Amino acid sequence: MDWDEKRRRLMEATLGHVPFDGWTDASLRRAAEDIGLTVADVLDAFPGGAIETLELFLAEADRRMIADLEGADLASLKVREKVLLAVRRRLERVLPHREAVRRGLATLALPQNAPLALRSLYRTVDAVWFGIGDTSTDWNFYSKRAILAGVYGATVLYWLDDRSEGQVKTWDFLARRLDDAIKVPRAIGQGFDRLRRLATDFPNPLRRFDRAFRG
C-alpha cells in the first residue's frame, strides 16, 4: 500500500467514526484498527493528526466534483447554471456523510483551525470556477470567488438541515442566493457606468468652479 492509498483508506475508514467521536485522534485510531493499520501507519499518513484527515476529506470531495463536471455538458449551460450544477455535485458527493460535514464545520470553527477553514473554503470555490471552465485573470477572478464563498457557505448550512426529497429545497435556496449574488456586481458595474458618464458630461467641474470663484 503506497502513501496516498494509505491516507485515502484511513480517511474513508475514519468517516464511520466521526459522527460519534468527531474529527479526533480517537476516530483515526479506531479507523486504523478497522483496516488493520498500526499507530506507526497513522503517524506516517497523518503526522498532524485527525485535522489532516478532515482536510483530505474536503479536498477529495473537491477533486471528485471536478471529475463529475468533466463528464457534464457544460457548453449548453449559462454561467449561473454551471455554478449551480457544480455546487450541487459538490454537496451530493458528501451527502452520505452529512453528519461528518456537520462535525467538520464545528471543528473548523475552532480558532486554531481558522487557517484551514479559510484555505478549504477557498479551495472549494476555486474548484467550482475551475471545474466550469472559468478563465478570468483580472479582478473578476477574486470577486467571483469571494461572492461564491458567501453563497456556498450559506447553502451548506441550509443543506445540513434539509430533509426534503432529493434536497430540492436546498437547490431552490442555492438558485435564489445565486440570483441575489449576480445583482451585486451588476449594480456596482452600473454605478461605475454612471460615474463615467458624469465624468464625460462634466469633465472638470471643480476647475470651472475655481475659475468662476477667482473671477
What pLDDT digit, counting tens, does each position of 11-26 carry?
999 999 999 999 999 9
Rounded-to-integer distance, Cα 50 and Cα 122, Å: 21
Average pLDDT estimate for 177-202: 56
- The pLDDT assigned to 206 comes to 41
Lowest mean pLDDT among 31-40, 73-82, 122-131, 133-142: 133-142
Q: Determine which helix (DSSP H) or strand (DSSP E) holds 61, and give its type and residue range.
A: helix 50-70
Q: Are 158 and 170 contacting, i.e. CB atoms less than 8 angstroms apart?
A: yes
- The pLDDT assigned to 81 comes to 95
Rounded-to-integer distance, Cα 151 and Cα 168, Å: 17
Rounded-to-integer distance, Cα 157 and Cα 92, Å: 14
Distances (CA, A) of 97 to 58, 91, 162, 171: 11, 10, 14, 18
Q: What is the mean pLDDT of the chain?
A: 87
Instruction: Please identify which residue in the block is written with the cell numbers 438558485.
Output: 175
At residue 200, does pLDDT exceed 70? no
Q: Are 150 and 181 contacting, i.e. CB atoms less than 8 angstroms apart?
A: yes
Question: How do residues 135-168 score in pLDDT, each as one tens digit?
Answer: 888 888 988 999 999 999 999 999 999 999 999 9
